[in-house]
Structure 1
Amino acid sequence: MDKISIDKLVVFGNHGVFEAENMLGQKFLVSVVVYTDTRKAGLTDDLACSVNYGDVSRDILKFFQNNTFKLIETVAEKLAQELLLRYDLAEKVDVKIEKPWAPVAIPVDSVSVEISRGWHRAYIATGSNMGDKKAYLDEAVEKLKNHSYCKVVKVSDYITTEPYGGVEQDVFLNGALEIKTLLYPEELLALLNRIEAEAGRERTIHWGPRTLDLDILFYDDCIIDTPALTVPHIDMQNRGFVLIPMAQIAPYHRHPVLGCTVGQLLSRLDGSLS
Protein backbone atom coordinates (compact mmCIF):
# COMPACT_ATOMS: atom_id res chain seq x y z
CA MET A 1 0.00 0.00 0.00
CA ASP A 2 1.11 3.59 -0.66
CA LYS A 3 2.62 5.60 2.18
CA ILE A 4 2.58 9.24 3.28
CA SER A 5 5.35 9.98 5.77
CA ILE A 6 5.99 12.70 8.34
CA ASP A 7 9.49 12.43 9.74
CA LYS A 8 10.57 13.77 13.13
CA LEU A 9 7.95 16.43 13.68
CA VAL A 10 9.11 18.50 16.66
CA VAL A 11 6.39 18.89 19.30
CA PHE A 12 6.27 19.90 22.95
CA GLY A 13 4.34 17.79 25.41
CA ASN A 14 3.86 16.95 29.08
CA HIS A 15 4.32 13.20 29.03
CA GLY A 16 6.40 11.22 31.50
CA VAL A 17 6.44 9.13 34.64
CA PHE A 18 7.97 11.88 36.77
CA GLU A 19 5.91 14.82 38.04
CA ALA A 20 8.41 17.34 36.69
CA GLU A 21 7.93 15.96 33.18
CA ASN A 22 4.18 16.46 33.45
CA MET A 23 4.56 19.97 34.87
CA LEU A 24 7.42 21.40 32.81
CA GLY A 25 7.06 19.40 29.61
CA GLN A 26 9.74 18.58 27.05
CA LYS A 27 10.46 18.13 23.38
CA PHE A 28 9.37 15.02 21.47
CA LEU A 29 10.07 13.89 17.91
CA VAL A 30 7.11 12.29 16.17
CA SER A 31 7.32 10.26 12.97
CA VAL A 32 4.16 8.94 11.31
CA VAL A 33 3.60 6.82 8.22
CA VAL A 34 0.03 6.75 6.89
CA TYR A 35 -0.84 3.82 4.63
CA THR A 36 -3.44 4.77 2.05
CA ASP A 37 -4.24 4.37 -1.64
CA THR A 38 -2.88 7.47 -3.41
CA ARG A 39 -3.76 6.28 -6.94
CA LYS A 40 -6.88 8.43 -7.35
CA ALA A 41 -5.16 11.52 -5.92
CA GLY A 42 -2.21 10.97 -8.23
CA LEU A 43 -4.44 10.71 -11.30
CA THR A 44 -6.79 13.59 -10.45
CA ASP A 45 -4.38 15.94 -8.66
CA ASP A 46 -7.12 16.34 -6.04
CA LEU A 47 -6.01 16.59 -2.39
CA ALA A 48 -9.45 15.46 -1.23
CA CYS A 49 -8.60 12.01 -2.58
CA SER A 50 -5.61 11.65 -0.28
CA VAL A 51 -4.56 12.22 3.33
CA ASN A 52 -3.36 15.80 3.85
CA TYR A 53 -0.02 15.57 5.68
CA GLY A 54 -0.40 19.21 6.77
CA ASP A 55 -3.65 18.38 8.55
CA VAL A 56 -2.08 15.28 10.07
CA SER A 57 0.86 17.34 11.38
CA ARG A 58 -1.48 19.89 12.96
CA ASP A 59 -3.56 17.11 14.53
CA ILE A 60 -0.41 15.60 16.04
CA LEU A 61 0.51 18.97 17.50
CA LYS A 62 -2.98 19.41 19.01
CA PHE A 63 -2.87 15.88 20.40
CA PHE A 64 0.34 16.61 22.30
CA GLN A 65 -0.98 19.93 23.55
CA ASN A 66 -4.29 18.52 24.79
CA ASN A 67 -3.18 15.30 26.49
CA THR A 68 -0.87 14.17 29.29
CA PHE A 69 0.24 10.55 29.70
CA LYS A 70 2.85 8.83 31.82
CA LEU A 71 4.10 6.41 29.17
CA ILE A 72 5.19 7.13 25.62
CA GLU A 73 3.70 3.71 24.85
CA THR A 74 0.33 5.25 25.69
CA VAL A 75 1.12 8.35 23.66
CA ALA A 76 1.86 6.21 20.60
CA GLU A 77 -1.22 4.03 21.08
CA LYS A 78 -3.67 6.89 21.55
CA LEU A 79 -2.19 8.93 18.70
CA ALA A 80 -2.44 5.98 16.30
CA GLN A 81 -6.08 5.45 17.27
CA GLU A 82 -6.92 9.12 16.83
CA LEU A 83 -5.39 9.29 13.35
CA LEU A 84 -7.09 6.11 12.15
CA LEU A 85 -10.46 7.30 13.42
CA ARG A 86 -10.06 10.81 12.01
CA TYR A 87 -8.88 9.95 8.49
CA ASP A 88 -11.23 7.64 6.62
CA LEU A 89 -8.68 6.94 3.88
CA ALA A 90 -6.04 5.73 6.35
CA GLU A 91 -5.90 1.94 6.51
CA LYS A 92 -2.85 1.68 8.76
CA VAL A 93 -0.39 3.94 10.56
CA ASP A 94 3.13 3.54 11.89
CA VAL A 95 3.85 5.85 14.83
CA LYS A 96 7.27 6.49 16.35
CA ILE A 97 7.63 8.67 19.43
CA GLU A 98 11.18 9.72 20.31
CA LYS A 99 12.02 11.24 23.66
CA PRO A 100 15.40 13.03 23.53
CA TRP A 101 17.50 13.08 26.67
CA ALA A 102 15.15 10.82 28.59
CA PRO A 103 15.70 10.96 32.40
CA VAL A 104 17.27 7.53 32.86
CA ALA A 105 20.30 8.68 34.91
CA ILE A 106 22.79 7.58 32.26
CA PRO A 107 23.85 9.31 29.03
CA VAL A 108 21.42 8.54 26.21
CA ASP A 109 20.65 10.44 23.04
CA SER A 110 16.97 9.44 22.98
CA VAL A 111 14.54 6.62 23.67
CA SER A 112 11.61 5.75 21.46
CA VAL A 113 8.53 3.60 21.02
CA GLU A 114 7.43 2.54 17.54
CA ILE A 115 4.11 0.80 16.78
CA SER A 116 1.98 -0.20 13.79
CA ARG A 117 -1.80 -0.10 14.05
CA GLY A 118 -4.52 -0.47 11.45
CA TRP A 119 -7.99 -1.58 10.53
CA HIS A 120 -8.69 -5.31 10.53
CA ARG A 121 -11.45 -7.10 8.64
CA ALA A 122 -13.56 -9.59 10.57
CA TYR A 123 -16.61 -11.68 9.77
CA ILE A 124 -19.09 -12.51 12.52
CA ALA A 125 -21.91 -15.06 12.60
CA THR A 126 -25.08 -14.02 14.40
CA GLY A 127 -27.91 -16.13 15.75
CA SER A 128 -30.91 -16.09 18.08
CA ASN A 129 -33.73 -18.52 18.93
CA MET A 130 -35.37 -16.90 21.94
CA GLY A 131 -37.78 -13.98 22.29
CA ASP A 132 -37.78 -11.33 19.58
CA LYS A 133 -35.00 -12.90 17.51
CA LYS A 134 -34.75 -10.19 14.87
CA ALA A 135 -34.62 -7.48 17.51
CA TYR A 136 -31.69 -9.20 19.23
CA LEU A 137 -29.77 -9.48 15.94
CA ASP A 138 -30.57 -5.92 14.92
CA GLU A 139 -29.50 -4.60 18.32
CA ALA A 140 -26.17 -6.42 18.07
CA VAL A 141 -25.52 -4.82 14.68
CA GLU A 142 -26.37 -1.38 16.04
CA LYS A 143 -24.06 -1.81 19.03
CA LEU A 144 -21.20 -2.70 16.70
CA LYS A 145 -22.03 0.27 14.48
CA ASN A 146 -21.94 2.56 17.49
CA HIS A 147 -18.66 1.24 18.90
CA SER A 148 -15.79 3.66 18.40
CA TYR A 149 -13.39 1.00 17.12
CA CYS A 150 -15.76 -0.84 14.76
CA LYS A 151 -17.29 -0.09 11.35
CA VAL A 152 -20.04 -2.33 10.02
CA VAL A 153 -19.42 -2.88 6.30
CA LYS A 154 -22.05 -5.46 5.27
CA VAL A 155 -24.96 -7.27 6.93
CA SER A 156 -26.56 -10.35 5.41
CA ASP A 157 -30.22 -11.14 5.22
CA TYR A 158 -31.52 -13.19 8.13
CA ILE A 159 -32.46 -16.83 7.50
CA THR A 160 -34.53 -19.27 9.56
CA THR A 161 -32.70 -22.50 10.35
CA GLU A 162 -33.20 -25.67 12.34
CA PRO A 163 -31.28 -26.09 15.63
CA TYR A 164 -27.78 -27.59 15.42
CA GLY A 165 -26.28 -29.98 17.96
CA GLY A 166 -29.19 -32.25 18.94
CA VAL A 167 -30.78 -30.13 21.68
CA GLU A 168 -34.55 -29.77 21.29
CA GLN A 169 -35.36 -26.06 20.98
CA ASP A 170 -36.98 -23.40 18.81
CA VAL A 171 -35.74 -22.58 15.29
CA PHE A 172 -32.96 -20.03 14.87
CA LEU A 173 -32.71 -16.75 13.04
CA ASN A 174 -29.17 -16.53 11.64
CA GLY A 175 -27.08 -13.99 9.78
CA ALA A 176 -23.55 -12.76 9.20
CA LEU A 177 -21.81 -9.43 9.06
CA GLU A 178 -18.53 -7.94 7.94
CA ILE A 179 -16.80 -5.32 10.05
CA LYS A 180 -13.61 -3.31 10.08
CA THR A 181 -12.17 -2.98 13.56
CA LEU A 182 -9.21 -1.59 15.44
CA LEU A 183 -9.71 -4.24 18.11
CA TYR A 184 -7.36 -7.21 18.40
CA PRO A 185 -9.04 -10.67 18.21
CA GLU A 186 -9.26 -11.18 21.97
CA GLU A 187 -10.56 -7.63 22.42
CA LEU A 188 -13.20 -8.21 19.74
CA LEU A 189 -14.21 -11.46 21.43
CA ALA A 190 -14.61 -9.62 24.75
CA LEU A 191 -16.82 -7.02 23.06
CA LEU A 192 -19.02 -9.69 21.46
CA ASN A 193 -19.33 -11.52 24.77
CA ARG A 194 -20.38 -8.28 26.44
CA ILE A 195 -23.03 -7.64 23.78
CA GLU A 196 -24.31 -11.21 24.27
CA ALA A 197 -24.48 -10.70 28.04
CA GLU A 198 -26.38 -7.43 27.60
CA ALA A 199 -28.92 -9.39 25.54
CA GLY A 200 -29.38 -11.82 28.44
CA ARG A 201 -27.29 -14.65 27.00
CA GLU A 202 -26.83 -17.49 29.50
CA ARG A 203 -24.34 -20.30 28.81
CA THR A 204 -26.08 -23.15 30.64
CA ILE A 205 -26.57 -25.80 27.93
CA HIS A 206 -23.98 -26.52 25.23
CA TRP A 207 -25.61 -25.82 21.84
CA GLY A 208 -28.73 -24.87 23.78
CA PRO A 209 -31.20 -22.00 23.26
CA ARG A 210 -29.85 -18.46 23.42
CA THR A 211 -31.05 -14.90 23.04
CA LEU A 212 -27.95 -13.96 21.08
CA ASP A 213 -24.95 -15.79 19.67
CA LEU A 214 -22.00 -13.91 18.14
CA ASP A 215 -19.07 -15.91 16.75
CA ILE A 216 -15.91 -14.67 15.03
CA LEU A 217 -15.63 -16.61 11.77
CA PHE A 218 -12.61 -14.89 10.21
CA TYR A 219 -10.19 -12.21 11.35
CA ASP A 220 -8.09 -11.00 8.42
CA ASP A 221 -6.30 -14.15 7.26
CA CYS A 222 -5.23 -15.04 10.80
CA ILE A 223 -5.10 -18.55 12.18
CA ILE A 224 -5.66 -18.39 15.94
CA ASP A 225 -5.79 -21.31 18.37
CA THR A 226 -5.88 -20.33 22.02
CA PRO A 227 -7.91 -21.63 24.97
CA ALA A 228 -10.27 -18.69 24.53
CA LEU A 229 -10.52 -18.35 20.77
CA THR A 230 -10.24 -20.41 17.58
CA VAL A 231 -10.22 -18.59 14.23
CA PRO A 232 -11.32 -19.49 11.61
CA HIS A 233 -14.34 -20.92 13.39
CA ILE A 234 -13.52 -24.59 13.80
CA ASP A 235 -16.82 -26.05 12.50
CA MET A 236 -18.12 -23.43 10.09
CA GLN A 237 -17.58 -25.67 7.03
CA ASN A 238 -20.25 -28.02 8.40
CA ARG A 239 -22.84 -25.38 9.19
CA GLY A 240 -25.21 -24.23 6.49
CA PHE A 241 -26.68 -21.61 8.81
CA VAL A 242 -23.22 -19.99 8.85
CA LEU A 243 -22.22 -20.51 5.21
CA ILE A 244 -25.47 -19.35 3.60
CA PRO A 245 -25.42 -15.78 5.04
CA MET A 246 -21.62 -15.64 4.71
CA ALA A 247 -21.87 -16.56 1.03
CA GLN A 248 -24.27 -13.66 0.55
CA ILE A 249 -21.81 -11.05 1.79
CA ALA A 250 -18.41 -12.66 1.05
CA PRO A 251 -18.67 -15.64 -1.34
CA TYR A 252 -15.04 -15.31 -2.45
CA HIS A 253 -13.46 -14.96 0.97
CA ARG A 254 -10.95 -17.80 1.24
CA HIS A 255 -10.63 -20.00 4.31
CA PRO A 256 -6.95 -19.71 5.34
CA VAL A 257 -6.77 -23.32 6.55
CA LEU A 258 -8.97 -25.23 4.11
CA GLY A 259 -7.95 -23.14 1.10
CA CYS A 260 -11.52 -22.91 -0.23
CA THR A 261 -13.78 -19.91 -0.69
CA VAL A 262 -16.96 -19.58 1.35
CA GLY A 263 -18.95 -20.26 -1.83
CA GLN A 264 -17.01 -23.47 -2.45
CA LEU A 265 -17.54 -24.62 1.14
CA LEU A 266 -21.28 -24.04 0.77
CA SER A 267 -21.38 -25.96 -2.53
CA ARG A 268 -19.55 -28.88 -0.92
CA LEU A 269 -21.95 -28.88 2.04
CA ASP A 270 -24.98 -28.76 -0.25
CA GLY A 271 -23.54 -31.65 -2.26
CA SER A 272 -22.97 -33.76 0.83
CA LEU A 273 -26.56 -33.25 1.92
CA SER A 274 -28.16 -34.07 -1.44
Structure 2
Amino acid sequence: MKSWVDIYIGLGSNLDQPLQHVEQAFQSLASHKHFQNAKLSGIYQSKPVGPQDQPDFINAVAHAQTQLGPHDVLDCLQSIENVHGRVRLRHWGERSLDLDLLMYGQAQIRTPRLTVPHSHMLQRSFVLYPLADLVPNLCFDNGLNLGEHLNKLEFDLKLLKKGI
Protein backbone atom coordinates (compact mmCIF):
# COMPACT_ATOMS: atom_id res chain seq x y z
CA MET A 1 0.00 0.00 0.00
CA LYS A 2 1.30 3.45 -0.92
CA SER A 3 2.03 5.92 1.85
CA TRP A 4 0.18 9.21 2.16
CA VAL A 5 1.94 12.28 0.73
CA ASP A 6 1.37 15.87 1.86
CA ILE A 7 0.37 18.11 -1.02
CA TYR A 8 -0.21 21.86 -1.22
CA ILE A 9 -2.47 23.35 -3.85
CA GLY A 10 -2.80 27.00 -4.85
CA LEU A 11 -6.36 28.09 -5.57
CA GLY A 12 -7.16 31.25 -7.51
CA SER A 13 -10.06 32.87 -9.34
CA ASN A 14 -10.99 36.30 -10.65
CA LEU A 15 -14.13 35.69 -12.74
CA ASP A 16 -17.79 34.89 -12.13
CA GLN A 17 -18.01 35.03 -8.31
CA PRO A 18 -14.39 34.13 -7.59
CA LEU A 19 -14.84 33.63 -3.85
CA GLN A 20 -17.50 31.02 -4.58
CA HIS A 21 -15.24 29.25 -7.11
CA VAL A 22 -12.40 29.03 -4.56
CA GLU A 23 -14.65 27.78 -1.76
CA GLN A 24 -16.38 25.23 -3.99
CA ALA A 25 -13.05 24.00 -5.36
CA PHE A 26 -11.83 23.45 -1.81
CA GLN A 27 -15.02 21.50 -1.01
CA SER A 28 -14.37 19.37 -4.11
CA LEU A 29 -10.85 18.65 -2.85
CA ALA A 30 -11.99 17.99 0.72
CA SER A 31 -14.66 15.52 -0.38
CA HIS A 32 -12.59 13.81 -3.11
CA LYS A 33 -12.07 10.10 -2.50
CA HIS A 34 -8.32 10.34 -3.14
CA PHE A 35 -7.65 13.19 -0.69
CA GLN A 36 -7.85 13.25 3.09
CA ASN A 37 -7.29 15.72 5.96
CA ALA A 38 -7.93 18.75 3.76
CA LYS A 39 -7.34 22.20 5.26
CA LEU A 40 -7.71 25.64 3.74
CA SER A 41 -5.63 28.72 4.44
CA GLY A 42 -7.13 32.13 4.81
CA ILE A 43 -8.69 33.51 1.64
CA TYR A 44 -7.00 36.61 0.26
CA GLN A 45 -7.57 39.20 -2.43
CA SER A 46 -4.60 40.16 -4.60
CA LYS A 47 -3.74 42.19 -7.67
CA PRO A 48 -3.22 40.12 -10.83
CA VAL A 49 0.22 39.05 -11.99
CA GLY A 50 0.65 39.88 -15.64
CA PRO A 51 -2.02 41.84 -17.50
CA GLN A 52 -3.52 44.49 -15.20
CA ASP A 53 -6.71 44.91 -17.25
CA GLN A 54 -8.46 42.16 -15.29
CA PRO A 55 -10.19 41.92 -11.89
CA ASP A 56 -8.32 41.23 -8.65
CA PHE A 57 -7.83 37.58 -7.74
CA ILE A 58 -9.16 35.60 -4.82
CA ASN A 59 -6.41 33.23 -3.60
CA ALA A 60 -5.89 30.52 -1.01
CA VAL A 61 -3.76 27.43 -0.43
CA ALA A 62 -5.11 24.02 0.45
CA HIS A 63 -3.29 21.15 2.14
CA ALA A 64 -4.33 17.54 1.75
CA GLN A 65 -2.83 14.09 1.81
CA THR A 66 -3.01 11.65 -1.07
CA GLN A 67 -1.75 8.31 -2.27
CA LEU A 68 -2.02 9.39 -5.91
CA GLY A 69 1.06 10.08 -7.97
CA PRO A 70 1.76 13.72 -8.84
CA HIS A 71 0.48 13.53 -12.42
CA ASP A 72 -2.72 11.87 -11.20
CA VAL A 73 -3.14 14.74 -8.72
CA LEU A 74 -2.66 17.17 -11.62
CA ASP A 75 -5.37 15.32 -13.58
CA CYS A 76 -7.76 15.65 -10.61
CA LEU A 77 -7.04 19.36 -10.30
CA GLN A 78 -7.60 19.95 -14.01
CA SER A 79 -10.87 18.02 -13.80
CA ILE A 80 -12.06 20.30 -10.99
CA GLU A 81 -10.99 23.35 -13.04
CA ASN A 82 -13.02 22.05 -15.98
CA VAL A 83 -16.13 21.65 -13.80
CA HIS A 84 -15.72 25.35 -12.98
CA GLY A 85 -15.55 26.29 -16.66
CA ARG A 86 -11.82 26.97 -16.81
CA VAL A 87 -10.82 28.42 -20.17
CA ARG A 88 -7.22 29.46 -20.88
CA LEU A 89 -7.61 32.73 -22.80
CA ARG A 90 -4.14 34.24 -22.31
CA HIS A 91 -1.00 33.70 -20.25
CA TRP A 92 -1.54 34.97 -16.68
CA GLY A 93 -4.99 36.12 -17.73
CA GLU A 94 -8.37 36.01 -16.11
CA ARG A 95 -9.88 32.67 -15.16
CA SER A 96 -12.80 31.19 -13.30
CA LEU A 97 -10.51 28.78 -11.44
CA ASP A 98 -6.82 28.00 -11.32
CA LEU A 99 -5.53 25.07 -9.26
CA ASP A 100 -1.75 24.70 -9.06
CA LEU A 101 0.07 21.80 -7.45
CA LEU A 102 2.60 23.79 -5.42
CA MET A 103 4.30 20.96 -3.55
CA TYR A 104 4.09 17.18 -3.61
CA GLY A 105 5.83 15.99 -0.46
CA GLN A 106 9.53 16.75 -0.85
CA ALA A 107 9.53 15.74 -4.52
CA GLN A 108 11.26 17.73 -7.21
CA ILE A 109 9.47 17.11 -10.50
CA ARG A 110 10.31 18.54 -13.92
CA THR A 111 8.20 17.13 -16.74
CA PRO A 112 6.56 18.79 -19.74
CA ARG A 113 3.25 18.83 -17.81
CA LEU A 114 4.35 19.52 -14.26
CA THR A 115 6.98 21.43 -12.30
CA VAL A 116 7.03 20.89 -8.53
CA PRO A 117 7.73 22.80 -6.40
CA HIS A 118 5.82 25.39 -8.42
CA SER A 119 8.38 27.46 -10.31
CA HIS A 120 7.16 30.93 -9.22
CA MET A 121 5.80 30.28 -5.75
CA LEU A 122 8.72 31.81 -3.82
CA GLN A 123 8.14 35.16 -5.55
CA ARG A 124 4.39 35.33 -4.97
CA SER A 125 2.89 36.77 -1.82
CA PHE A 126 -0.52 35.31 -2.74
CA VAL A 127 1.06 31.85 -2.44
CA LEU A 128 3.49 32.23 0.47
CA TYR A 129 1.26 34.11 2.91
CA PRO A 130 -1.59 31.58 2.60
CA LEU A 131 0.98 28.76 2.78
CA ALA A 132 2.23 30.29 6.03
CA ASP A 133 -1.31 29.99 7.45
CA LEU A 134 -0.98 26.22 7.06
CA VAL A 135 2.72 25.46 7.66
CA PRO A 136 4.48 28.49 9.20
CA ASN A 137 7.69 26.54 9.91
CA LEU A 138 8.11 25.11 6.41
CA CYS A 139 11.72 24.81 5.21
CA PHE A 140 12.68 24.80 1.55
CA ASP A 141 15.46 22.95 -0.28
CA ASN A 142 17.33 26.23 -0.76
CA GLY A 143 18.04 26.26 3.00
CA LEU A 144 15.63 29.11 3.77
CA ASN A 145 12.48 28.77 5.80
CA LEU A 146 9.11 30.26 4.93
CA GLY A 147 9.61 33.25 7.23
CA GLU A 148 12.85 34.16 5.47
CA HIS A 149 11.08 34.08 2.10
CA LEU A 150 8.18 36.13 3.47
CA ASN A 151 10.64 38.80 4.62
CA LYS A 152 11.56 39.31 0.95
CA LEU A 153 7.94 39.96 -0.08
CA GLU A 154 5.58 42.83 0.52
CA PHE A 155 2.27 41.91 2.16
CA ASP A 156 0.12 43.27 -0.67
CA LEU A 157 -2.96 41.17 0.07
CA LYS A 158 -6.31 41.72 1.72
CA LEU A 159 -7.50 38.94 4.06
CA LEU A 160 -11.12 38.17 3.26
CA LYS A 161 -11.73 35.06 5.39
CA LYS A 162 -9.84 33.05 7.97
CA GLY A 163 -8.89 29.48 7.05
CA ILE A 164 -10.74 26.27 7.85
Q: Same-fold call, TM > 0.5?
A: yes
Residues 191-240 of structure 1 deviation map (CA, whole Å, 9 limit, x = unaligned): 00010011000012110000001111111111101110000010111111
Equivalence for 2:148 = 264
**CA displacement at 1:146 relative to structure 2:** 1.5
Q: Distance in 1 between matches of 2:54 and 2:37?
A: 30
1:152/1:199 CA distance change after superposition, 3 Å: farther
Equivalence for 1:6 = none
- Asked if residue 171 in structure 1 is aligned to residue 56 in structure 2, the reply is yes
- Aligned to 1:254, which of 129, 139, 153? 139
SS in 1 for 2:63: strand
- Aligned to 1:153, which of 19, 24, 38? 38
Q: Distance in 2 between matches of 1:211 and 1:152?
A: 25
Q: Distance in 1 between matches of 2:101 and 2:147?
A: 18
Equivalence for 1:191 = 76
In structure 1, list runs of 5 or more residues that go unmatched: 1-79, 81-116
For the aligned residue pairs, the C-alpha RMSD in angstroms reads 1.4
- Asked if residue 223 in structure 1 is aligned to residue 108 in structure 2, the reply is yes
Equivalence for 2:47 = 162
Extract structure 1 runs of 4+ deviating beyond 2 A: none
Structure 2 counterpart of 1:265, which letter? H
- Asked if residue 118 in structure 1 is aligned to residue 35 in structure 2, the reply is no
Name the % identity.
36
Q: Distance in 1 between matches of 2:60 and 2:3?
A: 26
Determine which structure has the larger helix proportion and give its number. Answer: 1
Asked if 2 retains the 8 angstrom alpha-carbon contact of 1:125 and 1:214, the reply is: yes
Asked if 2 retains the 8 angstrom alpha-carbon contact of 1:167 and 1:207, the reply is: no
Equivalence for 2:20 = 135
Q: Distance in 2 between matches of 1:140 and 1:152?
A: 15
Asked if 2 retains the 8 angstrom alpha-carbon contact of 1:124 and 1:178, the reply is: yes
**Counterparts of residues 47-58 of structure 1 (less than 5 Å):** none
- Asked if residue 211 in structure 1 is aligned to residue 96 in structure 2, the reply is yes
Number of residue pairs matched? 155
SS in 2 for 1:130: coil
Q: Distance in 1 between matches of 2:47 and 2:109?
A: 29
Asked if 2 retains the 8 angstrom alpha-carbon contact of 1:144 and 1:152, the reply is: no
Asked if 2 retains the 8 angstrom alpha-carbon contact of 1:196 and 1:214, the reply is: yes
**CA displacement at 1:253 relative to structure 2:** 1.5
Q: Distance in 2 between matches of 1:190 and 1:153?
A: 18
Structure with higher Rg: it is 1
- Aligned to 1:232, which of 113, 117, 120? 117
Structure 1 counterpart of 2:115, which letter? T
SS in 1 for 2:107: coil
Q: Distance in 2 between matches of 1:179 and 1:125?
A: 12
TM-score w.r.t. the length of structure 2 is 0.89
TM-score w.r.t. the length of structure 1 is 0.55
Q: Distance in 2 between matches of 1:167 and 1:194?
A: 28
